[in-house]
Amino acid sequence: MANPEEEVIAIMKKAGIDLVATLPCDRIKNLLPLVSKNFPEIKLTREENGVGICAGFYLAGGKPLMLIQSTGLGNMINALESLNVTCKIPLPVLTSWRGVYKEAIEAQVPLGIHLPAILEGAGLAYTVIDEAEKLSLIEDVILDSFENSRPHIALISPKVWEASDCCAWQDAGMPEKPEVMERTCSFSLTGKTLRPVMLRNDAICAVASELDEEITVTNLGVPCKELYACRDRALNFYMFGSMGLVSSIGMGIALRSEKTVVVFDGDGSLLMNPNALLEIAKEAPKNLIIIALDNGAYGSTGSQETCALRYIDLEIFANACGIPNTAKVNSREGLIEAFRKFRAMKELALIHVILKPGNTNAPNIPMSPEEATKRFKEALEAKALK
């Protein structure tokens, strides 16, 4: 008979999973190498990014799954509710359920013992798998998630792996580490201060005027409304929640599509989830262009100041994360020139756009999140068939 780890891999293959986003837990350390060997894998730095990446990957036609420690659910619930539940985007999540069975780390206990009640209170589907004989329920978790377009979480007890003779972790070994690890970082920076002359709406409309077959993903709130008012397209994905995940969603789409993906992100969003750029730089999708709209303010909530106004340069930060193709612009002409350049290069790129704070009176988008998501997914499917 297969060991429990191999059984899980077989179930995932049977279900057609074609991307796994992971964060480690020592209870599943023998499962993780088998995942790396058998599936395309995104090794996350934070769980919310996995929610965004998997959402984008699904919208572009994929079947993703997350494999994490259960503590990550504490970080993910708002993203699952405001993205997956609101837009009816499926996501099966296999979690190593800590804090309940033979737990030696006291800090794991408070969340772990209350997780079933928390998930139930949040209206999130979950299944408890507390012994190896119940591993077949993972197939039901995956099927339910995709058939009912919702997240479904498997709480897998460490007891499941107790009798396993799997040695994948030991067999994989640790990567060789030279005594001195050389690291390089390439920078391409603007060496002068740029005075803001455009509003965010001006920048969005400038890029929108250049769009042809490109896919767009736009940050929630006023930016979405401004793009809709400027140039609504079925290939526009409008965010209605899950702030900080717009670039992660764009990355997920870019990994599954050959089309150029243009992300309209903002300084407040990027600083809320800076880990997104780390994962993007590591995977380096060549068809992703991030438009970092930096007005130094949380524009949709009253233009409160962000750290980008005085303390951090988003272009330098992108370079430090490993994105070498960057530009800093403050004019419509400069933005269009940079966009055309990076689109022709077909390399991962970020354009840092210096803007004045301020919103337009763009009306609300006259579609529900579910309607907008359905239209967008159907547009991607139609493009894929051509």
Confidence of residue 185 (pLDDT cuts 50, 70, 90): low
The closest alpha carbon to 314, from 260, 268, 362, belongs to: 268
DSSP alpha helices (H): ranges in the chain? 4-14, 31-38, 47-59, 73-79, 86-87, 109-122, 137-147, 168-172, 200-208, 222-231, 246-256, 267-272, 275-283, 314-321, 332-345, 369-385
Tens digit of pLDDT for each residue in 104-146? Answer: 999 999 999 999 999 999 999 999 999 999 999 999 999 999 9
Tens digit of pLDDT for each residue in 62-73? Answer: 999 999 999 999
Q: 384 pLDDT exceeds 80?
A: no
In the block, residue with structure tokens 């455009």: 198
Mean pLDDT of the chain: 93
| Least confident piece of the model among 23-32, 172-181, 249-258, 376-385 | 172-181
Tens digit of pLDDT for each residue in 202-258? Answer: 999 999 999 999 999 999 999 999 999 999 999 999 999 998 999 999 999 999 999
Instruction: Please state the pTM of the whole predicted model.
Output: 0.94
Which domains are present in the chain? 4-172 (3.40.50.970), 200-385 (3.40.50.970)
Tens digit of pLDDT for each residue in 163-172? Answer: 898 888 877 7
Share of the chain above pLDDT 90, in %: 83
In the block, residue with structure tokens 């403050």: 330
**Amino acid 305: pLDDT:** 80
Tens digit of pLDDT for each residue in 299-345? Answer: 777 778 888 778 889 999 999 999 989 999 999 999 999 999 999 99
Q: How far apart are CA 92 and CA 287, in angstroms?
A: 27
The closest alpha carbon to 69, from 153, 165, 174, belongs to: 153
The predicted model gives 52-67 an average pLDDT of 98
